[in-house]
């Protein structure tokens, strides 16, 4: 009954772990959920107020399918202010979260048989979206720092290569590409005449002296070959509002708009008004949230470092710690299943990100839960792996 196309789609692995965590919570257990992919902050109240006003004012009808003009303008203004990037409104489309913006672009760019280079570890949805569109994900494992070099990119390119997907800061590793690294990668993209999709949804969440650079900002030629995706989801703690966007070549954006107009139509009208308030209003929330994440990042990494058998580095951006469990366990799925079942601690197996022998822990959870979670993981490892002391 189910089509071959639909049957081939794997459900998102992060959502699978999350639903297991919820199941145990419903059953009355205190679960420490390190699997969440969203800030644990409430959406700032000035944003919620604008949404309430939009409802009361009857802003509840269809909007243009690609987004309201004032939101596109606000997105263009942020690109100019934050990244020095100039986009006209017809180069921007507003979608249902970053996820739909990514899917639209992959659909708009990829023909059956086209190859898409995906540096790994990589976020779960890219490869599925590429496959749904008939493309072939070409996995290129990152170096020790989880990033790929320009040389690696060059070697992975074939006559069928159409696109590179870059995600900096990265989910799951928190790796951030420097402007210098991006420059070298950009040169290969331009020379080889491929395209790049730059997923920058964690761009505002970077730590220490890290600076987020958009590859599109590194010159006219790479600008013309880049599609940038972003969203209000992570930056403003607005994951449920479902507003994201893509920017790039006007013809491809128009194709995305055509697809969107025949599938979902516009993103929620009220959420668009809320996103407008987020982008044009005060930005101190983003700084406060990031400093709170910075403290929890330190707490989680320091706690994990004390546990024998785990190897971990400080992530430079996003809100995930990428933990090497290979000294004690090769099968990350087995590790995570036993961890949730025995200690009610949810973590995402690295296999979901094409990197076996690792797990991803989110530190978008309270400091009390981080402490409790570290204790439980430590006890779990002693009980499960005590025999083969690392």
Does the protein bind ligand PLP through residue 244 (CB under 6 A)? yes
Considering only 36, 37, 103, 246, the residue that binds ligand PLP (CB under 6 A) is 37
Does the protein bind ligand PLP through residue 239 (CB under 6 A)? yes
Cα–Cα distance, 154 to 156 (Å, whole number):
6
Considering only 39, 66, 67, 98, the residue that binds ligand PLP (CB under 6 A) is 98
**Cβ-based nearer residue to ligand PLP, 307 or 323:** 323
Does the protein bind ligand PLP through residue 231 (CB under 6 A)? yes
- Least distance in angstroms from the C-beta of 101 to ligand PLP: 8
Cα–Cα distance, 298 to 289 (Å, whole number):
14
Does the protein bind ligand PLP through residue 235 (CB under 6 A)? no
Q: How far is CA 185 from the centre of its chain?
A: 20
Is the separation of the CB atoms in 300 and 321 below 8 Å? yes
Stretch that binds ligand PLP, among 95-103, 271-279, 281-289, 299-307 (CB under 6 A): 95-103
Cα dihedral 275/276/278/280 (nearest 10): 160
The residues pairing with 166 across neighbouring beta strands, listed in sequence order, are: 198
| 191 contacts: CB under 8 Å, gap ≥ 6 | none
Stretch that binds ligand PLP, among 94-102, 135-143, 185-193, 374-382 (CB under 6 A): 94-102
**Cβ-based nearer residue to ligand PLP, 233 or 378:** 233
Does the protein bind ligand PLP through residue 99 (CB under 6 A)? yes
Considering only 39, 44, 89, 97, the residue that binds ligand PLP (CB under 6 A) is 97
Is the separation of the CB atoms in 138 and 117 below 8 Å? yes
**Cβ-based nearer residue to ligand PLP, 174 or 309:** 174
Cα–Cα distance, 276 to 205 (Å, whole number):
20
Closest CA to 202 of 80, 289, 298: 289
Output DSSP code: residue 317.
B
Does the protein bind ligand PLP through residue 171 (CB under 6 A)? yes
Applying CB under 6 A, the residues found at the interface with ligand PLP are 37, 97-99, 123, 167, 171, 199, 201, 231, 233, 239, 244
């Amino acid at each position: 009954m189910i089509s071959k196309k639909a049957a081939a789609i794997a459900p998102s692995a992060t959502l699978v772990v999350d639903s297991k965590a919820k199941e145990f919570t419903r059953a009355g257990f205190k679960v420490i959920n390190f699997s969440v992919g969203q800030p644990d902050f409430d959406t700032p109240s000035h944003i919620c107020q604008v949404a309430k006003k939009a409802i009361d004012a009857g802003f509840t009808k269809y909007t243009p399918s690609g987004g309201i003009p004032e939101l596109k303008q606000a997105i263009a203004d942020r690109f100019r202010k934050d990244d020095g990037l100039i986009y006209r409104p017809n180069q921007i489309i507003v979608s249902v979260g970053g996820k739909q913006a990514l899917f639209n672009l992959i659909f708009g760019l990829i023909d059956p048989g086209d190859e898409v280079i995906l540096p790994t570890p990589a976020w779960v949805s890219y490869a599925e979206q590429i496959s749904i569109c008939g493309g072939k994900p070409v996995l290129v494992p990152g170096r020790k720092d989880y990033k790929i070099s320009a040389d690696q990119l060059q070697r992975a390119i074939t006559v069928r290569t159409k696109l590179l997907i870059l995600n900096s800061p990265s989910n799951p590793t928190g790796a951030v590409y420097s402007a210098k690294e991006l420059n070298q990668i950009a040169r290969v993209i331009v020379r080889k005449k491929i395209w790049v999709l730059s997923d920058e949804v964690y761009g505002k969440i970077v730590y220490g002296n890290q600076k987020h650079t958009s590859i599109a900002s590194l010159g006219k030629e790479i600008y013309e070959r880049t599609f940038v995706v972003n969203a209000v989801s992570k930056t403003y703690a607005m994951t449920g509002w479902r507003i994201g966007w893509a920017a790039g070549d006007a013809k491809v954006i128009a194709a995305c708009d055509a697809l969107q107009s025949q599938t979902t139509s516009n993103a929620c009208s009220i959420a668009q008004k809320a996103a407008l308030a987020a982008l044009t209003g005060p930005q101190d929330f983003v700084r406060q949230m990031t400093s709170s994440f910075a403290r929890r990042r330190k707490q989680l990494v320091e706690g994990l470092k004390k546990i024998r058998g785990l190897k971990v580095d400080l992530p430079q951006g996003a809100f995930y710690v990428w933990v090497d469990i290979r000294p004690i366990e090769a099968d990350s799925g087995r590790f995570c299943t036993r961890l949730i079942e025995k200690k009610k601690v949810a973590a995402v197996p690295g296999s979901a990100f094409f990197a076996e022998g690792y797990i991803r822990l989110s530190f978008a959870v309270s400091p009390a839960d981080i402490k409790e979670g570290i204790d439980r993981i430590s006890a779990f490892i002693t009980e499960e792996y005590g025999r083969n002391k690392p």
